[in-house]
Amino acid sequence: MRTFKAFTYAAATSFAALVAAAPASAVEIEYWQYIFDARITAMDVLIDNFQKANPDITVKQSTFPYADYRTKVAAAIPAGEGPDVVQLFYGWLNDYVQADLIQPLPAANFPADKIEAEFFPMVRAMKIDGNYMALPTAVRSLALFYNKRMFAEAGLTAPPANLDELVEMAAKMTTKDGAGNITAEGLTSGMTAQDHHWWREVVLRQFGGAPYSDDNKTVTYNSEGGVKALQFYADLEAKHGVTKSTFMDEPQAAFKAGRAGMHIDGSFRIGALKDTRGLDWGVAELPAGPDGTKSNYASYWVNAITTKAQGEKYDASVKFMEYITSDEAMQIWLDTVGELPAKPSAAMTDANLADPVFGPFVAGLGYANTTVFVDESGQRQVLVDAISRMMLEGQSAADSLAAAATAEQVILDGYYKK
């Protein structure tokens, strides 16, 4: 009995000490993102580091399935619940601002000229009325993955430098069976995957076209360059026969299975390929256009402070935002998730540029463009249908592209006329 009493006493004292040890002004803020394992791990590391540096602030991370994410955010914040700092896709920014879900970053801590000097230029899309609303930790770009074994078998030594070489090399790696069916393709293709980005921001520009007007409100690809670019893309399958869009169900599946020589995809694919046994792959910058033009497509997820964060929670959120947009956080993100730092100072380091996997992606960021989507899946569908009309219904590139431009303009008008 005596020992029990002593134990209770000891327990009570140590508990009191524990409570006392926590600073009186402890603030807890909440961070929300959707479920993507590597990102959750990376954020856990960042939160850990942040809490060590700021013992009076705790950050609670909550995650939700992608399908519910938008609804949850929309319902929680106006009710005064939910996140203080929230992650969102860059294409959703206007929706979040119009719905009054996020507030501008304080200019004192995030001066516009400093952001513009430090971050990649594509981040400027986050500026509304002179204020930055949100900032990314990481960005993603495209590169060409290639199968080293298939390259060696075809006697190829280096990845293609331009589009002509791309077609030529793809032809050398394509194999067909007796009935003429492709059994291994030189290049993967599929507008439903990443190819719509590659076409819109890379191929189109390389043939002298431009996807949208400067204010992003008008479709401008229905031009001579646009028709040439679409014809080039369709010819890969229809004329050169080096690819088949439905081959192995998905482009990435074909490449992963070792049945495709080359594959254009985003930096987020690195993780999945790393774990594939028996696949010997390399990464190269996207091939240059006929006149040597280089281009790339970059996209990113940003973090923003919600309108729910007020008072001391707001101050804590600002501190947290400062940390997760720092060079240190960006390097942690790169090492954990494989997504690239959003600042040239953190991305374009000699170590990153020399990295055989990250190097080509990082180099691509230097000349990347970002599409300001209003409805990404809808705008993707327009290009998917454009190529389907050519392949399945025999429409000409010019007619198909004209129809696509009209359809996409309807989507843009529907959004901007509000």
Partner 1 sequence: MSLYRNLSIRQKQVVWAWGFLALPIVFYCVIRFYPTFNAIVLSFQSWNLLGPREWVGLDNYAKLWDDPVFWKAFRNTFMYLILGTPISLVISFVIAYHLDKTKLLHGTLRALYFLPFLTSTVAMAWVWRWFYQPVPIGLFNNFLASMGIAQIDFLNSTSNALPSILLPAIWAGLGFQIIIFMAGLRAIPTSYYEAARIDGVSTWTILWEITLPLLKPTIVFLVVFSSIGFLRIFDQVFNMTTNNPGGPLDSTKPLVLMIYQTAFSSFDMGYAAAQTVVLFAILLVVSLIQLRVLREKP
Residues that bind partner 1 (CB under 8 A): 67, 70-71, 73-74, 95-96, 98-101, 177-183, 190, 192-193, 244-250, 259, 375, 377-378, 381, 384-385, 388-389, 392-393
CB of 95 to partner 1, least distance (A): 5
**How many CA atoms within 13 Å lie on the side-chain side of 212?**
19
**Which one, 285 or 408, has the nearer CB to partner 1?**
408
**Which one, 1 or 392, has the nearer CB to partner 1?**
392
Say whether 285 sits in a helix, a strand or coil.
Answer: coil
**Which one, 348 or 407, has the nearer CB to partner 1?**
407
Q: Which residues contact 26 (CB under 8 A, 6 or more apart)?
A: 56, 57, 58
Name which of 255, 199, 257 is nearest 232 in CA terms: 199
**Which one, 133 or 288, has the nearer CB to partner 1?**
133
Do the beta carbons of residue 197 and residue 142 sit within 8 Å?
yes
| Cα distance between residue 36 and residue 51, in whole Å | 22
Name which of 272, 336, 409 is nearest 38 in CA terms: 336
**Which one, 147 or 352, has the nearer CB to partner 1?**
147
**Which one, 92 or 120, has the nearer CB to partner 1?**
92
**Which one, 342 or 384, has the nearer CB to partner 1?**
384
CB of 46 to partner 1, least distance (A): 27
CB of 236 to partner 1, least distance (A): 16
Strands (E), 24-121: 27-34, 57-64, 85-89, 102-103
Do the beta carbons of residue 296 and residue 362 sit within 8 Å?
no
DSSP 212: B
Say whether 155 sits in a helix, a strand or coil.
Answer: coil
CB of 192 to partner 1, least distance (A): 4
| Cα distance between residue 326 and residue 40, in whole Å | 18
Name which of 161, 130, 218 is nearest 417 in CA terms: 218
CB of 408 to partner 1, least distance (A): 13
| Cα distance between residue 292 and residue 146, in whole Å | 21
CB of 70 to partner 1, least distance (A): 6
CB of 77 to partner 1, least distance (A): 9
